[in-house]
Homo-oligomer: A and B are copies of this chain.
């Protein structure tokens, strides 16, 4: 099992505060010591940092925390392996190009009969059920739409459909980003919060670290954060309902679809 973290904003924001909480769970405060990854979009391209080791004492994870990169959309993951050895090829998030932009994917849970899912143009590089399911999902989207569907709602509906299908009978909590929208499917466990004015102070659950968001934001800013478990102890997080897909855009929850 693993922990997921996603962020979607209407102004470039750094993910350091949330990533610090997640990193703590990657080895020190949590059992997720088998790898970590962080994808940060710049336009259609994701910059991806991956390491098949514990985030809590990784020099690269520390570098990323100490040199914040602002982004509109980010996906992070800390891994506790269930399937597949500890190596780079099995480290989330996974990513591929479709329609001239990166799609980034991270998964928590186990996909039932994952290796029976038919593959199209995307092939796994590692041995996880997660990457196999992602390659299947992206191949299905590529097949269904020759080019990127002009309406964002159309793509969201397709993601909800395929995620629901793939998740049937298993545990398919997942985050998928395309640089424009963040899709978050809840199978069993997912939470989110939208931070907007009036901003307040927040304190991590797993670290003695607080931020007063009022000091680092403008009144127009809006930041949605999705995580397996709430990352802060003094904010109210929305609990995901199993078999639903949240769609975030511009820091806002725009839709909740059955999935």
- A residues with a Cβ closer than 8 A to B are 42-45, 47-48, 50, 59-60, 63, 67, 87-89, 96-102, 121-126, 142
Do A101 and B88 contact each other (CB < 8 Å), given the known contacts A48-B48, A60-B67? no
Hey, which chain B residues are within 8 Å of A42, CB to CB? 87-89
Q: Which residue of B lies closest to A95 (CB)?
A: B97
What 11 new A-B contacts, CB under 8 Å, besides A42-B88, A43-B88, A97-B123?
A42-B87, A44-B125, A45-B88, A45-B126, A60-B67, A63-B63, A96-B97, A97-B122, A97-B125, A100-B125, A121-B121
Q: Which of B63, B98, B121 contacts A60 (CB 8 A)?
A: B63
Q: Which of B59, B101, B123 contacts A67 (CB 8 A)?
A: B59
Indicate if the CB atoms of A89 and B45 lie closer than 8 Å. yes
Q: How far is the CA of A258 from the CA of B195 in the complex (A)?
A: 60
| Distance to closest chain B CB from A48 (angstroms) | 7
Indicate if the CB atoms of B96 and A125 lie closer than 8 Å. no
Do A123 and B99 contact each other (CB < 8 Å), given the known contacts A60-B67, A63-B60, A87-B42? yes
Q: Which residue of B lies closest to A41 (CB)?
A: B88
